[in-house]
Amino acid sequence: MSCFRLRIRNARQLVQVCSKQERFKSGAAQDDIALIEGGAVVVSQDGRIAAVGTNEQVEAWLQKQPQPVSFEKDVDATDKVVLPGLVDGHTHPVWSGSRVDEFAMKLAGATYMEVHAMGGGIGRTVRCTKASSEEELSQFLKKRLDRMLKCGTTLVEAKSGYGLETETELKMLKVLHKASKEHQIDLVATYLGGHSVPEGMTAAEATLDIVQKQIPAIIQAKKDDLVNPEFIDVFCEKGVFEYDDTKTILEAGAKAGMKINFHGDELHPMDSGKLCMCVQAHAASHLEMLDTANIKAMKEASTFAVLLPTTMYILKLCSPPARELIKNGVPVALGSDYNPNAHCLSMPLTMHMACCLMGMTMKEALVGATINAAGSANRAETHGSIEVGKFGDLLVLDAPQWEHLIYEMADPPIEHVIKNGRIVVS
């Protein structure tokens, strides 16, 4: 008897966002999705997808198994929709303290950098996070990841960056590493020591500290399996880390074995596309101020653009050039940018905003929140689409068509969230 972990059948629609394994190399269109009517999927005991297709195709595959088959869980999805688990391409989920009062300041007209200059913003969260224990931060992180899972997120890119010195950055990365082993959500960690210039330091001094102290300490802690940042990030912004300092930090991170995914062109044009080419960035986020030449440079560099509609909305920024990026063949991913400034854990709401504020279609937003976000986190081989061999990360939607996931912005009808073939939220 072969016992599979899960079978779902009779789905009114099963959404396939990736028709080609080689999606990024062959340049599939951002809105390339296919719907299977009467869809079925089977997940093996190792948590991976064993078969997917129409009911008939999957049934024929099951018939061919050498032994009789059974299922730990058999879900009848009649009148329901099956989608891939969502991927959040950009978050800052490890921090303590509160900045709820700054929301009122911003509503009254203060800009992000004005709040920062008044002692709020990132610096304030850094002070609180330094004072918190690893245990406390782990508990905050767990609650946030639980809430993300409820909203359908099954893979998340998660940054450090509220330490800005060796000890606290390591503490944050340890918290992330522990969560990656213990929590049901899969997590890709990013080291963001260059998130802000610490009080009392110049950007040049902070750059030296990152390159000479923080990165070597991270390399050592990685060898000891205490941390595992796969990416390095910097907030490349006027008055924070500008082009040359950003480049120095990113190159040092790349030399230490980390891929590059940086914050760029959020408030001012910073030539982020040119920088992507120069440092061979895997991804760059925000990009509100990106111009045509820099879009073309991102295409040339094969860099993912990770767009963050919640931040643009909260800070009343102009829209990043989503349409032009897509037209130029840059793969666009989406992230909630969850942080104390943009307090949003929900990818359905993020997709909704990407459609209403950035002019993306629902298909483009879904691809942005699944396979492209997985690609931006270097997980396209295992996450982001319902394909044989990938993790059995699925959503069952109690709705007549998949678009309800985006249309019903605040409370979409997610009936089950499935991680590795197990129902983890229902």
Least CB distance to ligand NIG at residue 228 (A): 21
The amino acid that residue 345 corresponds to is L
Interface residues for ligand NIG in 376-415 (CB under 6 A)? none
196 vs 228 by CB, closer to Fe ion: 196
The answer to whether residues 290 and 273 touch, using CB atoms and an 8 Å cutoff, is yes
The answer to whether residues 344 and 380 touch, using CB atoms and an 8 Å cutoff, is no
Interface residues for Fe ion in 332-361 (CB under 5 A)? 337
Least CB distance to Fe ion at residue 339 (A): 6
Least CB distance to ligand NIG at residue 115 (A): 8
User: Could you give the CA distance from residue 330 to residue 297 in angstroms, rounded to a whole number?
Assistant: 10
User: Could you give the CA distance from residue 151 to residue 153 in angstroms, rounded to a whole number?
Assistant: 6
Per the DSSP assignment, residues forming a β-bridge with 338 are: 91
* Binds ligand NIG (CB under 6 A): choice among 85, 121, 193, 392: 121
126 vs 211 by CB, closer to ligand NIG: 126
* Binds ligand NIG (CB under 6 A): choice among 266, 271, 288, 403: 266
User: Could you give the CA distance from residue 153 to residue 392 in angstroms, rounded to a whole number?
Assistant: 13
219 vs 315 by CB, closer to Fe ion: 315
Interface residues for ligand NIG in 310-329 (CB under 6 A)? 311
Q: Which two tokens stand for residue 30?
A: 């951002």
The answer to whether residues 25 and 62 touch, using CB atoms and an 8 Å cutoff, is no
Q: Is 263 in the site for ligand NIG (CB under 6 A)?
A: yes
Least CB distance to ligand NIG at residue 186 (A): 21
User: Could you give the CA distance from residue 136 to residue 95 in angstroms, rounded to a whole number?
Assistant: 9
Q: Is 339 in the site for ligand NIG (CB under 6 A)?
A: yes
In the shown chain, the binding pattern of residues 217 to 236 toward ligand NIG, with x for contact by CB under 6 A and - for none, equals ------------------x-
- Select from 413, 331, 312, 360 the least CA-distant residue to 20: 331
- Select from 357, 293, 352 the least CA-distant residue to 323: 357
Q: Which two tokens stand for residue 351?
A: 């997709």
Q: Mark the segment that binds Fe ion (CB under 5 A) among 128-136, 239-247, 329-337, 385-393.
A: 329-337
Residues that bind Fe ion (CB under 5 A): 337
